A = this chain, B = another copy of it.
Amino acid sequence: MDDSVYANYPPPLTPEQQEYLVSTVKTWALHHGLCVRPAPTFIDKEKDPQGVLATNAPVTLFPSPFPKSAFEHAVAIQKAYNELYARIARDEAWLGKIIEDLIDADDFVANLWKVHLAVKSEGYVQPLSLGLFRSDYIPHRPPGSAESSLRQVEFNTISSSFGGLSALVAALHTDLLSLPPGNPIAYPPHPILKGNNPPENTAVPTLANGLADAHKAYGPSKFDSPLPLCILFIVQAGERNLFDQLELSTRLATFHKIPVFRLATADIQNHTSIPPSNPSRPLIYTPPHSPSTPFEVTTIYLRGFYGPGDYPNPATWAARTHLERSAAIKCPSVLSQLSGCKKVQQVLADPNADTDHLAHFLPNTDAQTIAKIRATFAPQYDLSTSGRGCELALNPSTAANHVLKPQREGGGNNIYRDAIPGFLRSMPEKDWKGWILMELIQPPEAARNMMLRSDGEVLSRHVISELGVFGTVLWRDDGEIVHNKQGGWLLRTKGKESDEGGVAAGFSSLDSIVLL
């Protein structure tokens, strides 16, 4: 697949074609739950005081071409990546060495580490941990190279989102490619689109199955008079992206027949408890709407608590500690969340390391798979004062080819190109170690798509697409991998003029794939 595919893709639309496509996408999205709550910048709270409105999630009108070899590469290594991060998360000594080095520079990492230390001093009671992971990539093709390779942007170990909506976008584009039956004319005819449906997207059954397997692995209630068991989704208050989450909770309730409750981070302490008299520390959730029916939580699925904004006060840190010390299986544990630090990614990628970390963590993985993982690493550097990272970051001509990322996950905080030297010089050098410098990935130059925003505006732009591949892994602290699966994917596409890519923040759109 080279740039020539974009010469006439997506096909140009007449006004009538665009009107049909846009109105079909709008109504399809709302009809199938491919939606979000409208942003306050679109509909302010005052206009919808009860919070009843929804609008389409931001989506592309066409699926984006993606190199088949790169897609298959990403899918092929996901289970090894699952295992790698499971093994990192259980190697407290190895991870701790990295984290303790960040504590001065990053309050958030420091606070998470404190939670771990507090629970460790008391003793963990739950040997199992669950990861619903998503590894994110951009196809990399510097000018002159014939093939795209796959470069990892980041590995998400907490709140890996958009599995639900991504599967719906694949279904939307598949419908557009096939409707009306027998004479598909929703899109103008185009050779790339002919008979080329997006690959199957099993994100919802895969992610739900991960949670269901953890739920089962928890075993029976830890009370003599057993309580009913449930899974608890910890969520942000006023979550606009709740329909993505509902795909998973609905699948758990209807297919797996597992009770699921949603609990906002601020309400954890009010509605959950750990009876002091029970040394197993079961976590009890008492539904406020049915206080006479307490449930025992087998699995905590965090769709909140992933960034500093989720911890506005010490009580929220206490709530996180409260969850962490409980017998519920955490998705993720604090250690697993910390293993998603960019610094871990950089240490794994360091070509000058004394140890081959991949070989160390994946002793049973064949060399070819390890090489395939290693091939996804972009050149990246820490910013220790005398190192190569500093040189590249402070020199405007080399900085121009780099991005500076904070340890933490979640978009919106990266510093790009020319802005890097000045940004670094504006902060004390001791804080530099909170950041990683990564060589910019060079996606296809000519890629284009059209996007329908959540407020109904239609954009046509040069774009960059980022692939996410989902995986689920359940492991025991003794190293046993109980469950390890891959399934489902996400394509997010943003306008090239925008360096940041959070869909929820409105910068980018959910997309699907035509493999080429």
Residues of A in contact, count (CB < 8 Å)? 56
Do residues B183 and A259 form an inter-chain contact, with CB atoms below 8 A?
A: yes
Question: Which listed segment binds B: A32-40, A71-79, A403-411, A440-448?
Answer: A32-40
**Which residues of B have CB within 8 Å of A51?**
26, 456
* Bound Cα distance A476, B183 (Å): 30
Q: Which residues of B contact A17 (CB under 8 A)?
A: 289-290
Structural contact, A43 and B53, CB atoms closer than 8 A = yes
- CB contacts (< 8 Å) of A288 on chain B: these are 16, 19-20
Contacts of A186 in B (CB 8 A): 289
A246 contacts B by Cβ under 8 Å: yes
Q: Tell me whether chain A's interface is mostly helix, strand or loop, or mixed.
A: loop
A18 to chain B, nearest CB (A): 8
Assembly CA distance A243 to B242 (angstroms): 21
Candidates B27, B43, B293; contact of A48 at CB < 8 Å: B43
A94 at interface by CB-CB < 8 Å: no
Q: Please report the C-alpha to C-alpha distance between residue A100 and residue B66 in the assembled complex, in whole angstroms.
A: 66
Pairwise interchain contact B55-A53, C-beta atoms closer than 8 A: yes
Contact A30 B50 (CB under 8 A): no
Contact for A180 among B32, B246, B261, CB less than 8 A: B261
Give A59 Cβ to nearest chain B Cβ, in Å.
Answer: 12
Closest residue of B by beta carbon distance from A28: B246
Contact A257 B182 (CB under 8 A): yes
Q: How far is the CB of A261 from chain B (nearest CB, A)?
A: 7
Question: Which residues on B sit within 8 Å (CB–CB) of A293?
Answer: 183, 185
- A353 at interface, CB cutoff 8 A: no
- Digitize A312-352: 1 where CB-to-B-CB distance is under 8 Å, 0 elsewhere: 00000000000000000000000000000000000000000
User: Please, which residues of chain B bring their CB within 8 A of the CB of A213?
Assistant: none
CB atoms of B456 and A16 under 8 A apart: no
Task: List the B side residues contacting A16 at CB < 8 Å.
Answer: 288-289, 291
